[in-house]
Structure 1
Amino acid sequence: MGNKVTRGDFEWVYSDQPHTKRRQEILAKYPEIKSLMGPDHQLKWIVLAMVFAQLVACRLVRDFAWKWVLFWAYAFGGCINHSLTLAIHDISHNVAFGNRQAKWNRWFAMIANLPIGMPYSASFKKYHIDHHRYLGGDNLDVDIPTDFEGWFFCTPFRKVVWLVLQPLFYVLRPLYVNPKPVTRMEICNALVQFSVDLLLYHTFGLKPFVYLVAGSVFCLGFHPISGHFIAEHYMFMKGHETYSYYGSLNLITFNVGYHMEHHDFPSIPGSKLPLVSRLLSARYWILVCFVYLFQIFLK
């Protein structure tokens, strides 16, 4: 969406993002979906188990050669860290403890953040709400690549470079597109994260810290698990800039592939989005099949 008409590098529309209207229409026809909204009481235990697993991994990798530290960062630890970023995504919608205990969700997101190595959860929350409210909005939705990214990364090789550097763009893009004042929660997030990083370094040495940070960079960049970053809002068909993926990677990504369902109902936990998809199978699958046939036609 935007407010300019002279640029031909994006698809410009002037209506509200479609998910609000879709949500109203779907709830009018299927009011039982409201029963799926609310906290996921299993989420916090799953997150704590992943954080504990990374703590054990830190103990193990301190004796590894550097090449194996980086190998396991890519093959194992980074996958857990990527999954934790998607847990933080769910928690940002208050699905760990519910809307009535919003601050508990913020603090728990900082715990989920710990193995990632760098403070992330508070800033993500601040900008992700805008992504839902202003989906595709010019200078509002920081998930949309900048003009420079669209202009420069236009060849196959440069697109691969963009994928490798995607964590860097994900961090820097908000500061350029829609900078916001630093919040108290962001300061707390940084203090908690860096305190734990120092404790980790003091206890286990440098290798575990590199293992965590390198894993986050690897698996948020050029890695199969990162494919959802492209699939979520790739415009396969004009007028539909949200796309769902129903494959097996959802098992380790908190069902982030059910992305159309998520944007229709952001207050429903990822664990329950498959129930939404089954209930509305005709509505979602018709669009997905159309996109699939459209891709075949392009080939």
Structure 2
Amino acid sequence: MTHQEILKKVEWKDLKNLSFKEMLIENNLTIPWFVLSITLAYFEYYILALPFSAFFFLAGLRQVHNGFHNSLGTNKFLTWFTLYSNSILLLVSIHAVKFNHIRHHKYCLSEEDYEGKSAKMTWYGAILYGPIHMFLIHKVTLQLGNKKYKKNVILELISTAIFITIAFYFKIDYLIYHILIMILAEFLMAFFAVWTVHHDTEETPEFARTQRGKWKNKITFSMFYHLEHHLFPAVPTIKLPELARRIDNALPEIEKKNTF
């Protein structure tokens, strides 16, 4: 079954629109997790801060991922600001990630898909590849991106460098903690954000892996509905559980490989 045939069989266009409440959720999801993690780190409860830092990172990924596909329900400037501000807090140029993610949808798991390279590796190979992955997506964007992308990447990298310099120069321990944890998280992106959802799908790359466990999806902020996302990238993450239900009802014959 082709992608176009799937689009015709599943009702999905109504899911593109966000209510005001949903828009607020998508645009503010990171705030409580960031506040809790930084507060605990400020009082030097670093171990207790770790899970909240992890949830902040995952919520940040969900937020910018929706921004990549213009699914935050906000105007261009606010969407841009979301990507820019998260670049500083997540310690990576989000516009570089965006450039490679859009290419990932276009060239999924081909030689031109730089984001998806770790999908063909072993799980431990994808983990070891993590630092190279982060360097490569910036390099590719600066080489292949248009002037607007390059300008945003440079701005984000400079802003992030200033943030890191301030934290270390003034020895702000809770910010140093945050920086170190975010760097570690970014180095694991090739494994968690690519390998887990795409390994062993090279023959049918448009059919990524997915997750159907209710609680697994709750604790991962619905980020592992990846089959659904690749088939309908314009649908916001908050609507993916409903989209998954519709796909299951309309196309029960589609093989659904589990993420974890």
The TM-score, its normalising length taken from structure 1, stands at: 0.68
Q: Larger Rg: 1 or 2?
A: 1
How far, CA to CA, are the matches of 2:231 and 2:253 in structure 1?
16
Tell me, yes or no, if the aligned pair for 2:130 and 2:188 is still in contact at 8 Å: no
1:111 pairs with 2:85: yes
Q: Which of the residues 144, 150, 167 maps onto 2:116?
A: 144
Tell me the amino acid that sits aligned with residue 135 of structure 2: L
- TM-score after normalising by structure 2: 0.77
Unaligned stretches of 5+ in structure 2? none
Distance 1:110 1:51, change over 3 A: farther
The 5-angstrom pairing of residues 1-299 of structure 1 reads: 21-22=2-3, 24-30=4-10, 32-39=11-18, 40-41=22-23, 42-61=25-44, 69=46, 71=47, 74-98=50-74, 101-116=75-90, 118-138=91-111, 140-145=112-117, 159-160=123-124, 162-174=125-137, 179-181=143-145, 183-201=150-168, 205-220=171-186, 227=192, 229-235=194-200, 238-240=203-205, 242-247=208-213, 248-282=215-249, 286-288=253-255, 291=257
Q: Contact conserved, 1:81 with 1:215, CA < 8 A, in 2?
A: no
> Alpha-carbon deviations, 1:201-260, whole Å to 9, x = none?
566x2432332233224445569xx64532311225843551112233432433121111
Aligned length: 247
Residues of 1 paired with 2:188 and 2:9: CA distance?
A: 41
| Alignment check: 8 A CA contact 1:235 1:242 kept | no
Contact between 1:90 and 1:270, CA under 8 Å: does it hold in 2? yes
**Residues 50/199 of structure 1: CA separation in 2 closer, same or farther (3 Å cut):** farther
Q: Is the 8 A contact 2:95 2:153 kept in 1?
A: yes
**Separation in 2 of the partners of 1:135 and 1:109?**
23
Deviation, 1:124, is: 0.8
CA distances 1:85-127 after superposition (whole Å, capped 9, x unpaired): 23222221122234xx2332121122233332x2331111111
- For the 8 Å contact 1:51–1:112, the answer to whether it is kept is no
Matched to 1:125, the amino acid is K
Partner amino acid for 2:78?
W
